[in-house]
């Protein structure tokens, strides 16, 4: 078809295989792109208002309910923020347990996303259900890995979703060391499945599209930053502390989205697995670096579809790093610690990496320990602006080559590559009326 | 999770599996019924809880157990609230979202379908209870709590019919 004849109106009213309602609107006229929009129409969740008046210890358990996939991340980030507000320091043992809980969540989420969402896309089927007929061994492996990750969270968190063991300053009930030993044995037995996951990922044909953007992630001098670190920008090659997160997110609103948008040093920025791998590649474990090489992921990588591949690299990193940390627990043992603390007035912010990118929480308390202010900025609300910029550039670049159907499919795949959680991205809009 | 219960029963025995969440009012009915049932010695070893379980967890649990199951859950069956129905998965048109699923959106029906497609061929019975309210709050509704003893009796009758 002649480019001049390409007058399309594409309206994907409900992008499937993402959480929540996202709509892609594209309009082209005679080969020129008129409009590309990612419309978000989810209602507000009001979690930041739910917690006002709450006791500090209750907040992490309440806000974990923001998301059933990233519940661990919301809980830990809120815990860090509340601890910062109250001046609570944690022990090395608590830090280790929280890192284990964090990596259990990465394994849960990435396995689910790669096998249940990405693989069906690349194999040309609608979901994991038809895949169960055509590739049963692949789906069985996914289920086994997911179950292992669920059980991993349950060993350290007390249950696989919305854990209850972690609390301010420490652990309410320490993990059973026999269960930790059993988990380590299962993790070691699962390493062939991890290697097979890399092999499957290698067979996926990633669309060759690139758009350079700003990559933002936590960065830590001693480790591949997932639980802690400062906020690093690939543009400036420098970091800011997490409590200055508002300088990073610069949230703003647009008419076609109920989710807030973010930008830092340029129009938009990218958070998530690809940003982390781009910014912290040298701190990946050798097995993960090898996986990246096998999968053709060379940093810096500017292809957003490669976010799925970066997730596989992180699966490898988290699996082997977890085995190392499980050994640390087994060798050092666990002991009951003093978890007492005092309420006081204060304000604190915390951040963690969660599977979809950096998560920020901030809380303020009065002298009685009642929460008076709360704010949460989740990864998808930081990514939405970047996704729309990607879609705009993608349509302009691919319009000459692709049919309307191909364009639609690839735009949906592009959106899904970020694994957005649209429901979670919509949070309370502060409105101030001026007399 | 099923960590509070005894060792698995023999392969031919039925498992009674409570499914649901404890944060959405009557969505807890399956968990509450099976939790109560598990306190009785004769039922304890048959009981399992799958709290907050997604489809992957349900499917992998069924494939691991390889036993016939009675799933106890809140279900929208167009019945008056509080009424229950005991049926086979093959008797009911359970809506499966074949294409519009997300990591967050795979539910009970997709979990059963996934297990079936992966070779789980044991009988599945569903003890479904029509909820009064599924809004986000803890605890069953007052109306459901009042019906709880009769629902528990009905579940025991269903179990005894199958175990006989």
- A145-160 residue pLDDT tens: 999 999 999 999 998 8
Tell me which range, A29-43, A244-258, A339-353, A398-412, is most confidently predicted by mean pLDDT.
A339-353
- B79-90 residue pLDDT tens: 899 999 998 887
CB distance A353 to A372 below 8 Å? no
ipTM of the complex: 0.76
- A331-357 residue pLDDT tens: 999 999 999 999 999 999 999 999 999
- Secondary structure of residue A189 in the 3-state scheme: helix
Could you tell me which chain A residue has the CA closest to the CA of B114?
A129
Tell me which range, A37-51, A127-141, A143-157, is most confidently predicted by mean pLDDT.
A143-157
Could you tell me which chain B residue has the CA closest to the CA of A163?
B52
Distances (CA, A) of A419 to A57, A318, A416: 31, 19, 5
- Secondary structure of residue A384 in the 3-state scheme: helix
Predicted pLDDT at A434? 30
Name every residue whose Cβ is closer than 8 Å to that of residue A146 and which is 6 or more positions away in sequence.
A108, A111, A112, A115, B56, B57, B60
Say if pTM beats, i.e. exceeds, 0.95: no
CB distance A425 to A42 below 8 Å? yes
B6 or A358, higher pLDDT = A358
Residues of B in contact with A160 (CB under 8 A): 1, 52, 57
- Secondary structure of residue A29 in the 3-state scheme: strand
Residues of B in contact with A142 (CB under 8 A): 56
- Strand arrangement, sheet containing B47-51: B47-51, B15-20, B69-74, B124-129, B84-88
Residue closest to A270 by CA, chosen among A380, A141, A187: A380
Distance between A321 CA and the closest CA of chain B, angstroms: 24
Residues of A in contact with B51 (CB under 8 A): 159, 161
Distances (CA, A) of B97 to A83, A269, B39, B92, B120: 42, 33, 36, 15, 19
Cross-chain residue pair B103–A117, CB shorter than 8 Å: yes
Residue closest to A198 by CA, chosen among A320, A106, A276, A312: A312
Backbone angles phi, psi at A375, to 5 degrees: -150, 140
DSSP state of B27: G
CA-based Rg of chain A, rounded to a whole angstrom?
Answer: 22
Predicted pLDDT at A426? 45
Residues of B in contact with A150 (CB under 8 A): 57
- B35-67 residue pLDDT tens: 999 999 989 999 999 887 778 888 999 998 999
Residue found under tokens 């292992």: A148
The C-alpha atoms of residue A233 and residue B97 are separated, in whole angstroms, by 40
The C-alpha atoms of residue B115 and residue B56 are separated, in whole angstroms, by 9
- A182 in contact with chain B, both atoms CB, cutoff 8 A: no
- A116 in contact with chain B, both atoms CB, cutoff 8 A: yes
- B133 in contact with chain A, both atoms CB, cutoff 8 A: no
Could you tell me which chain A residue has the CA closest to the CA of B105?
A19
CB atoms within 10 A of CB A345: 14
- A79-92 residue pLDDT tens: 999 999 999 999 99
- A112 in contact with chain B, both atoms CB, cutoff 8 A: yes
Query: If phi over 0 gives left and psi between -120 and 50 gives alpha, with beta otherwise, what is residue B32?
Result: alpha
Give the pLDDT band (50/70/90) at residue B9. Answer: very low
What is the bridge-based pairing of β-strands A346-354 and A230-233? unpaired
The C-alpha atoms of residue A52 and residue A66 are separated, in whole angstroms, by 15
Residues of A in contact with B100 (CB under 8 A): 14, 16-17
The C-alpha atoms of residue A351 and residue A360 are separated, in whole angstroms, by 5
Cross-chain residue pair B118–A423, CB shorter than 8 Å: no
- B23 in contact with chain A, both atoms CB, cutoff 8 A: yes
CA-based Rg of chain B, rounded to a whole angstrom?
Answer: 15
The C-alpha atoms of residue A51 and residue A373 are separated, in whole angstroms, by 8
Residue closest to B74 by CA, chosen among B151, B137, B1: B151
Predicted pLDDT at A6? 66
């Amino acid at each position: 078809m002649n480019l001049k004849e390409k007058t399309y109106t594409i309206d994907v009213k409900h992008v499937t295989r993402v959480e929540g309602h996202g709509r892609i609107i594209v309009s082209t006229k005679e080969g020129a792109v008129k409009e590309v929009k990612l419309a978000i129409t989810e209602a507000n969740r009001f979690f930041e208002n739910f917690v006002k008046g709450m006791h500090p210890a209750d907040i992490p358990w309440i806000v974990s309910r923001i998301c059933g996939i990233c519940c661990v991340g919301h809980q830990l980030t809120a815990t860090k923020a509340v601890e910062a507000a109250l001046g609570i320091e944690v022990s090395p043992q608590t830090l280790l347990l929280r890192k284990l809980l964090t990596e259990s969540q990465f394994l849960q989420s990435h396995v689910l996303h790669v096998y249940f969402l990405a693989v069906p896309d690349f194999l040309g089927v609608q979901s994991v259900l038809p895949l169960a007929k055509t590739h049963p061994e692949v789906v069985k492996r996914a289920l086994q890995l997911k179950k292992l990750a669920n059980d991993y969270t349950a060993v350290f968190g007390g249950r696989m979703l919305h854990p209850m063991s972690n609390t301010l300053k420490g652990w309410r009930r320490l993990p059973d060391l026999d269960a930790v030993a059993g988990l380590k044995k299962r993790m070691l037995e699962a390493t062939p499945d991890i290697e097979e996951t890399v092999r499957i990922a290698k067979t996926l044909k990633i669309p060759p599209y690139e758009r350079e953007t700003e990559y933002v992630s936590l960065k830590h001098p001693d480790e591949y930053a997932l639980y802690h670190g400062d906020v690093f920008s690939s543009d400036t090659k420098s970091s800011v502390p997490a409590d200055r997160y508002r300088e990073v997110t610069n949230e703003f609103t647009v008419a076609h989205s109920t989710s807030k948008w973010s930008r830092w040093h340029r129009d938009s920025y990218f958070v998530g697995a690809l940003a982390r791998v781009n910014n912290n590649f040298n701190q990946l474990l050798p097995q993960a670096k090898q996986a990246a090489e096998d999968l053709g992921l060379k940093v810096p990588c500017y292809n957003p579809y490669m976010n799925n591949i970066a997730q596989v690299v992180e699966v490898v990193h988290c699996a082997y790093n977890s085995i190392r940390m499980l050994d640390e627990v087994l060798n050092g043992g666990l002991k009951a610690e003093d978890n007492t603390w005092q309420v006081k007035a204060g304000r604190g912010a915390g951040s963690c990496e969660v599977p979809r990118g950096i998560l920020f929480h901030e809380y303020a308390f009065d002298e009685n320990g009642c929460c008076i202010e709360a704010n949460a900025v989740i990864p998808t609300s930081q990514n939405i602006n970047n996704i729309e910029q990607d879609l705009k550039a993608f349509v302009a670049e691919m319009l000459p080559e692709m049919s309307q159907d191909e364009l639609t499919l690839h735009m949906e795949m592009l959106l899904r590559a970020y694994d957005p959680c649209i429901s979670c991205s919509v949070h309370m809009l502060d409105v101030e009326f001026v007399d | 999770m099923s960590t509070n219960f005894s060792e698995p029963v023999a392969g031919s025995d039925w498992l009674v599996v409570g499914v649901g969440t404890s944060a959405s009012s009557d969505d807890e009915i399956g968990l509450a019924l099976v939790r109560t049932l598990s306190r009785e010695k004769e039922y304890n070893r048959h009981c399992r809880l799958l709290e907050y379980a997604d489809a992957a967890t349900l499917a992998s649990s069924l494939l691991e157990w390889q036993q016939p199951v009675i799933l106890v859950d809140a279900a929208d069956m167009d019945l008056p609230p509080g009424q229950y129905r005991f049926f086979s998965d093959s008797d009911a048109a359970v809506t499966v979202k074949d294409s519009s699923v997300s990591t967050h959106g795979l539910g009970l029906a997709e979990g059963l379908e996934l297990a079936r497609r992966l070779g789980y061929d044991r009988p599945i019975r569903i003890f479904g209870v029509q909820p009064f309210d599924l809004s986000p709050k803890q605890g069953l509704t007052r109306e459901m709590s009042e019906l709880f003893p009769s629902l528990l009796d009905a579940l025991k009758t269903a179990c005894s019919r199958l175990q006989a």
